[in-house]
Structure 1
């Protein structure tokens, strides 16, 4: 029978592209990790990875087995959460606010899964990019990018390592070519986002040694981040978006990350509330749940490989 910890190691190794990195994440030694991987391959009677002294990549059989391993681990995790939920069931309304793009395209299926574990919880979701007034509006918590401007608010990290990435659709790139350097962005149509009436036309990047920022231009802008992402998927131009917003599109091939050696600016996701008294058990469970899902997406980010 396959062991749970062996499957965990396999999935983590596939995500990080490194056996030693997976061992660190699971708090085990490289030798134990190597033995676990060999044991799994022996049980399956296939090679899951092609190894060399400097690289590690999935074999065709490994690619095939990866999705099944992920689903198995998710099913086991859901079962454990349901058992825990049955021992300490949470109920009642939970009112939360989230950004339009992240909320619609990433958070919604997570909330579906969370509510299946806690069926007596009543979720009330507000989506929009305007920052909610947590002291006046009927919202318990807000999920927001960046630190709150009001220092009196409580902010708990959900995805501290999240960054923006430069993306475009394969259709746009087929018609206009792929930029080979930041200086080429001037000849591309850049899709712009507005917040509070201010146009975010200054895009910032870093290659680890130096930072570079440039002003871009394009024929479309919106105060709804989801609209900007949809324009990019439709092939209308380049977009500079939070990785958490576009990870699904990149994985599905609808968008491609451009100039990956240039890191976009940090865009941490936080859970924000007005008072620590609002950090109820449902809020803390939701935070832990969303934090774990964000970590899975960040493990596949271009700067993590």
Structure 2
């Protein structure tokens, strides 16, 4: 039978990237930690970590086992609380990866509210627009726009109906005029986003059943989506962004939606993890919490989008 303390060694080693660091964190000697890992690998008849004198990383089998180990530890913790006669509340550490703009300006205050409701929960938020490697980085879940490229990952919808919207600040429109057709975007300074060396300069829209597209250009490009939004709010040009990212700016009058009769490109928001074993009570509650708030923003979206 697998031992609880052995599972803890595996999880903390994966989180910290070091067996000795995991030993210190759990207040055991490195020898005890090493023996626990060896014992568990012998029981499972697989190597969980590929080890050398300078590095340690999860093997494919270790990556698969890690999610189950986390879920088992959380289930045991909840069972202990129930047996102790206390109300079961979510606790522990939840490590989340999220896009820069959505994470910083939308998700961050939502997480503050969520932790106020669940004060035993600790959150580690990692922001960046590049997709997190869920198998190698210390991340439990990722929140991302679009479906994952890796079909083996589990994707649960948060805002499936979210779309991009075209917008600009009132100050920019006062100075440069408001486009009434997409071909007029060629006359405007369009703020561009680049990810993985790819420049997103072709903007697509749907007019009824027709798909329209236009190649745009501008004098400012960034690989950080939050920077692009900030440029737009500052009146630097026209931007084409996820409605969830700009909803608060539109509602506050900092940005105005342009050509609202056109539907923008889909920008579904998903919660992603490596396998269903990671869908703990904490993850399910957080997903429901975010879904509700995304739905409220989507309902306030201008017509046509």
TM-score norm. by structure 2 comes to 0.71
Matched residues in 2 for 1:108 and 1:304: separation? 28
Matched residues in 2 for 1:88 and 1:110: separation? 22
Shift of 1:111: 0.3
| Runs of at least 4 residues off by over 6 Å | none
Matched residues in 1 for 2:119 and 2:196: separation? 37
Conserved 8 A contact 1:90-1:282: yes
Aligned match of 2:98: 98
Shift of 1:256: 0.2
Conserved 8 A contact 2:162-2:243: yes
What CA deviation, in whole Å up to 9, does each residue of 1:103-125 have, x standing for no partner?
01111110000000000000000
What CA deviation, in whole Å up to 9, does each residue of 1:226-256 have, x standing for no partner?
0000000000000000000000000000000
Shift of 1:303: 3.1
Matched residues in 2 for 1:303 and 1:261: separation? 7
Instruction: Supply the RMSD in Å over aligned alpha carbons.
Output: 1.1
Conserved 8 A contact 1:154-1:274: yes
Matched residues in 1 for 2:160 and 2:113: separation? 23
Conserved 8 A contact 2:262-2:304: no
Aligned match of 1:18: none
Aligned match of 1:22: none
Matched residues in 2 for 1:87 and 1:261: separation? 50
Shift of 1:209: 2.1
SS at match of 1:97: strand
Aligned match of 2:281: 281
Matched residues in 1 for 2:226 and 2:104: separation? 8
Shift of 1:183: 1.0
Aligned match of 2:7: none
2:166 matched to 1:163?
Answer: no
Matched residues in 2 for 1:209 and 1:286: separation? 36
Shift of 1:304: 6.7
Structure 2 runs not aligned, ≥5 long = 1-85
TM-score norm. by structure 1 comes to 0.71
Matched residues in 1 for 2:102 and 2:261: separation? 24
Matched residues in 2 for 1:304 and 1:237: separation? 22
Aligned match of 2:221: 221
What CA deviation, in whole Å up to 9, does each residue of 1:135-194 have, x standing for no partner?
000000000000000000000000000000000000000000000111100000000000
Which of the pair has more CA radius of gyration? 2
Conserved 8 A contact 1:298-1:304: no
Aligned match of 1:76: none
Aligned match of 1:238: 238
Conserved 8 A contact 1:92-1:120: yes
Aligned match of 1:79: none
In structure 2, do the counterparts of structure 1 residues 206 and 294 end up closer, same or farther at CA, with 3 Å as the change threshold?
same
What CA deviation, in whole Å up to 9, does each residue of 1:68-103 have, x standing for no partner?
xxxxxxxxxxxxxxxxxx832010000000000000
In structure 2, do the counterparts of structure 1 residues 151 and 233 end up closer, same or farther at CA, with 3 Å as the change threshold?
same
- Count of equivalent residues: 220
Aligned match of 1:205: 205
Structure 1 runs not aligned, ≥5 long = 1-85
Conserved 8 A contact 2:156-2:270: yes
Matched residues in 1 for 2:277 and 2:301: separation? 34
SS at match of 1:89: coil
Superposition map of 1:62-81 within 5 A: none
Aligned match of 1:196: 196
Aligned match of 2:128: 128
